[in-house]
Copies of this chain bind each other. A is one copy, B any other.
Amino acid sequence: MARATIKQVAAAAEVSTATVSRVLNNSDYVSEEIKERVMAAVNRLNYRPSAIARSLKQDRTYMIGVIVPDISNPYFMGISRGVEDIVGKEGFQLIFCSSDENPEKERRLLKLLQEKRVDAVVLATSGGNDPAIKQIADSNMPIVLVDRKLDSPDTGSMLDLVAEDNTEGASRLTRKLLEEGHTAIGVVNGPTRSSTGRERLEGVRNAMKAFGLNEGPMVYNGDFSTEDGIRAVQQFLNAEHRPTAIISLNNRMSLGVLLEIVRSGLKIPADMAVASFGEVEAGPLLKESGLYYMEQHPYDMGIKAGEILLSRIREEARQDPPAYEIYSNEVKQLI
């Protein structure tokens, strides 16, 4: 069945197209009798007013675009659930896009969302896109950064941000291993084009220096994926000076680290201590692992991001100074 047009509906109801439009938009007085006739025709013809045409008029699409580097990472989905629980009440719906840690894909997705005129964007950037992001902000579309900052500190402070204290967090995690006597530490880092990659690595280095160690950590630069956690362990185990402890700087890579250590027949922490930035959902499968992990609160961060978004979408708060919300979390141990 082809899509019915407003003209066909008007003809079927024996009214003008303007009247059909008035009924559908509730925009002016129309008698009950005419209303019923129009709605009967709408239902009979299965007419659906094009939201595209409508959004041109109302200038609101009630869509909020969410771009994250890894759509199946429970961390980002926790943030999204928080956002949704706030904005959903106001009738907004979330659509998700996955950049796969690929700045070029992220750029395309930003363009798509801008062209589709979503009402706002939530972005955990893969890095390298300051100009494109700044251009969106300049076009008056609200954009809230989550988890990750822009590359350049000066553009960074121009946008709303909800993130974690990555440097301090990674330092705390590292100190746990240092206090247990580890000095040969392997770091599984994310890509340094992302702020979380840069800041967490800096945190590890700071802690080692503050502890009086001259040698830095052995660094594997991964892509925040489980596969990279696996590869990092393989590299560490084959190294001439094998580390006695591994710090993995996101939850996905940590799962890979644990899988590969178990596969290698090593015991955690007796043969290899492990500390993870972020909880590993499956961690408790390792009985008495002694795994250290940095707690994260993605849902709370999402709630905060959602509140900021709503205040920006409502015109009155558009000119407020950028929000800067940084969560500082504790290190826990899995027993």
Contacts and interface: CB of A to CB of B under 8 A. Distances in A.
Contacts of A65: 95
Copies of the protein in its oligomer:
2
B52 A116 contact: yes
A281 to B, nearest CB: 7
Interface stretch (A33-41, A72-80, A154-162, A320-328): A72-80
B63 A72 contact: no
Interface string A85-116: 00000000111111000000000110010111
Contact of A116 (B80, B96, B116): B116
Given A52-B56, A96-B97, A74 B72 contact: yes
Nearest to A261: B285
Contacts of A98: 77, 80, 94, 96
Contacts of A258: 282, 285
Interface of A: 1-3, 46, 48, 50-53, 55-56, 61, 63, 65, 71-74, 77, 80, 93-98, 108-109, 112, 114-117, 135, 138-140, 226, 255, 258-259, 262-263, 280-282, 284-287
Given A50-B115, A259-B282, A263-B284, 4 more contacts: A51-B116, A52-B56, A52-B117, A259-B285
Closest 8 CB pairs of A and B: A282-B282, A51-B115, A96-B96, A72-B77, A285-B285, A95-B95, A1-B138, A72-B72
